[in-house]
Amino acid sequence: MRTPFLAGNWKMHKTVSEATALAREIVAGATGSGNRIMVAPPFTALAAVGAIVKGSPVRLGAQNMAGELSGAHTGETSVLMLKDLGVEYVILGHSERRHVYGESDELVNRKVKLALERGMQTILCVGETLEEREADSVESVVAAQLAGGLDGVEEASLGQVTIAYEPVWAIGTGKTATPDDANAVHRFIRDWFAKHYSAKAADAMCIQYGGSVKPDNVRDLMAMEHIDGALVGGASLDADSFLAIATYNKE
Ligand code: PEP
């Protein structure tokens, strides 16, 4: 039984005061679902939001981290600095990092391994562009991103890994993959883990869907056999909409 995992990626939104107000509202409403819930504010608000979510059911995540531990890397943030702030999760390989900032599978892999070595939970994002979907290469693209991102990662570390399947054409566009289409890719991802690791690892793997998840489509997506959670962008910026998603199964 995989615990539903609903995560909010606030991207480059929210000043510290806006982020703390949002975090307070989310903490107040996040109890009682039994779900795993995480928010990833911008770096500037991590400390303040961390103080608010501490001791609550809401976990603290970062949106990115450096591929190196320390040194001359202007503008980068080390896993050590994130851990120091109480960050437990890091989102890696988000499509905006891959497609806007040119992150390669090799760089994503370095970040994943460093995060895992240092005891961080990672959310590894994979997903195809519209051109790749139209060219019928969804499975080959996703398989290459999984193989690249997880190169050298042992099965013993997979308990720290969540996969977020985020078709690039569905992110921030209002277009969602149908639950059946998303589930088919999630099933492919689970089978990939069975083939490259083990049936046990595949069964335990938490696979989130991301791409215009909203309060009105979350239940249909979460009803699918292989969809274990959601990585939410736009709808995580408002407490009511994020809580409707994060506690979608609350009685
Ligand atoms: C995301 O940024 O990971 C995302 C899925 O965004 P949105 O929910 O806005 O599509």
For the chain, the domains span: 8-25+35-234
- pTM flag (> 0.85): yes
pLDDT < 70 positions in the chain = 251
CA distance linking residue 157 with residue 171, whole number of Å? 28
Question: What amino acid positions are annotated as catalytic residues?
Answer: 94, 166
Closest of 244, 226, 134, 238 to residue 188, by C-alpha: 226
What pLDDT sits at residue 90?
98
Question: Ligand 1 center to residue 216 CA distance, Å?
Answer: 15
Antiparallel, parallel or unpaired: β 206-210 and 58-62: unpaired
Nearest CA to ligand 1 atom 8: 233
Q: Which residues contact 197 (CB under 8 A, 6 or more apart)?
A: 155, 158
Helix 16-29 vs helix 46-53: crossing angle, to nearest 10: 20
Answer whether CATH 3.20.20.70 is correct for domain 8-25+35-234.
yes
- Residue 11 burial (10 A CB sphere; 0-12, 13-18, 19+): middle
Atom in ligand 1 nearest the alpha carbon of residue 214 = 8
User: Which protein residues are within 6 Å of ligand 1, measured from CB?
Assistant: 9, 166, 171-172, 210-213, 231-235
Which residue out of 128, 212, 216 has the highest number of ligand 1 atoms within 8 Å of its CB and is therefore the one to mutate?
212
What is the per-residue pLDDT for 15? 98
Predicted pLDDT of residue 33: 85
Distance 106 CA to ligand 1 centre (A): 23
pLDDT of residue 251: 67
Q: Helix or strand or coil: residue 94?
A: coil
Measured at the alpha carbon of residue 39, what is the angle toward residues 181 and 150, in degrees to the nearest 5?
Answer: 55
Q: Which atom number of ligand 1 is nearest to the Cα of residue 166?
A: 5
Residues in the chain: 251
Q: Which atom of ligand 1 is nearest to the CA of 232?
A: 8
The set of residues, in sequence order, having a beta carbon less than 8 Å from that of 170 and lying 6+ positions away, is 176, 177, 210, 211, 212
Which residue's alpha carbon is nearest to atom 3 within ligand 1? 233
The CA radius of gyration of the chain, in Å to the nearest whole number, is 17
